[in-house]
Structure formats: C-alpha cells, structure tokens
Amino acid sequence: MFHNLLIITHIHSIHGHAFAHSQLLELLEYLCSHLILCYLHHSPSQSNVLQACIITSGLIAALGTMIRQVSHVASIEGLPILDCSTEVSFGFEMWHLELITGLVVLISSSRYLLLKTWPDFAESSEAANRQVLSSLQPLDYIAVAFLPGISEELLFRGAILPLFGMNWKSIAVASVIFGVLHLGSGRKYSFAIWATFVGLAYGYATVLSSSLAVPMTSHAVNNIIGGLLWRYTSKHK
C-alpha cells in the first residue's frame, strides 16, 4: 500500500548534505498522499486501522529521525545547518508538567468549543473520527493516540522546526505544513486551520522547553481526550 521501496529511493535521493528545503517539502507531500490511502475505506476493520497507524507512524518517525541525524552530522562538519538533536532534546524537567497541563487544557477545551460553535469543523471532525475510530475499542485509542502523537512531534517539532531555526518563523513554517497534511479523509480546510493552530501551540512549547517530551506527551493526551469525547458524545457511532 505504501510502496516502501519508492519512499526509500526518494529518501536516498537526499544524499550527503544537499538538504534542500524543496526536496524536504516534496518528500512530505509524497508521504502525505500515502497516509491518506490508509483511510480511504468507508468501514475499515480494527486490524486495518491499527496496522495503518503503526505503519504510518513508523514512516513519519523514520523521516524525523533521518532529518535529525543528517542535521547532526552536517553541523559537526561545519555546515551552516542547525543540529536538530541539540536544539530540541528528549530531556524532561518538572516544570514541563505545568506546560503539558496548560497545552492539554488549552487544546482540548478549544476543540470542544469549536465543535459546538463551528459546524464545518464539527462535520470534518465527525467524518474523520467515525472513519478511523468507529471500529476500535477504548483500549485501542491508546495506540492510535500515542503512536501518531510521538511520531508527528518527532518530525514536525523535533526535526522541521529546529531545522529552520528556533524562532517564530520556524514555528509558523512547521505549523502550516502540519496543518496542510491534515487535509483529506473527510477533513476540510477548517480542520487544517485547527491543526495549524495546534501546531503553533506545540511549536511554541517546544521552543520554550527545548524538549520533545512536552509536545509528544501533550499531543498524545489530547488525542486520547478527543477520541474518548467523540466515542461517548457522537450521535453517529
């Protein structure tokens, strides 16, 4: 389904340190088109959804890891590229708990309010959630919440953001890409706008903490809350 060999070939085309931004965006667009294929079926089975989640999360994490490793090597060799792994680590400090809590409250409460006040966003969310979550059991939500949360943050906040620099411009670039890649599978532009806002919040928290633990944990917890909220409030289960 994902034509892994084509992805590997495309990755190897970004050889050495010729890390052009256009190539990165092209690869992201290619990856996005394949992510959408996972959810084209109207009633995917539990196993298909979980398998798609594992595969796509693995691909996203691999791309994020590759960018971080290439930037590290390039930085060591003196090229004018920021070392993503140095700029954003996996470190954790106690005050990060406050930041995580704030992100969870901000994003989950904002989502709830938008579901009640923005019909187009509510329709997009309902379509996407029904397509993915309807065949899952509550415990399955842990997998489909944490795997994308961890892998997406590794790529967007752990690789793309620091690659462009730890500033608002980078936060915006990573957030817009993050938002655009959330189009499709029943999700309209309203959902992309929402995802961009979420990306801005996670991006700011990443720059503030210099830690991937903050956006990863927040993203995963917000995913679980969103999934459970849909399960127990949706009229189209």
Q: What count of other Cβ atoms lies within 10 Å of the Cβ of residue 117?
A: 9
The helix/strand/coil state of 16 is coil
Domain boundaries, given as residue ranges, for the chain = 4-233
Rounded (10°) angle between helices 21-37 and 46-76 = 170
Share the mean pLDDT of the chain: 85
The whole-number pLDDT of residue 209 equals 98
Alpha-carbon separation of residue 197 from 16, 25, 224 (angstroms): 34, 20, 18
The whole-number pLDDT of residue 235 equals 65
- The model's pLDDT over 45-80, given as tens digits with 9 standing for 90+, comes to 888 889 999 999 999 999 999 999 999 999 999 999
- Using the structure block, give the residue that is written with the tokens 């509550």: 138
DSSP 135-173: T--TTHHHHHHHHHHHHHHHHIIIIIHHHH-SSHHHHHH
The whole-number pLDDT of residue 236 equals 57
Percent of the chain with pLDDT over 70: 80
Half-sphere exposure of 128 (CA within 13 A, CB side): 21
DSSP-assigned letter for residue 80: S
pTM score, two decimals? 0.82
Do the beta carbons of residue 207 and residue 121 sit within 8 Å? no
Pull the structure tokens for residue 200: 């801005």
The whole-number pLDDT of residue 2 equals 35
- The model's pLDDT over 109-120, given as tens digits with 9 standing for 90+, comes to 999 999 999 999
**Which residue has better confidence, 71 or 234?**
71
> For residue 138, what pLDDT band results from cuts at 50, 70 and 90?
confident
**Which residue has better confidence, 162 or 32?**
162
The whole-number pLDDT of residue 62 equals 96
- The model's pLDDT over 152-197, given as tens digits with 9 standing for 90+, comes to 999 999 999 999 999 999 999 999 999 999 987 778 899 999 999 9
**What is the rounded CA–CA span in Å between residue 235 and residue 214?**
33
DSSP-assigned letter for residue 206: H
115: left (phi over 0), alpha (psi -120 to 50) or beta: alpha
The whole-number pLDDT of residue 81 equals 92
The whole-number pLDDT of residue 32 equals 52
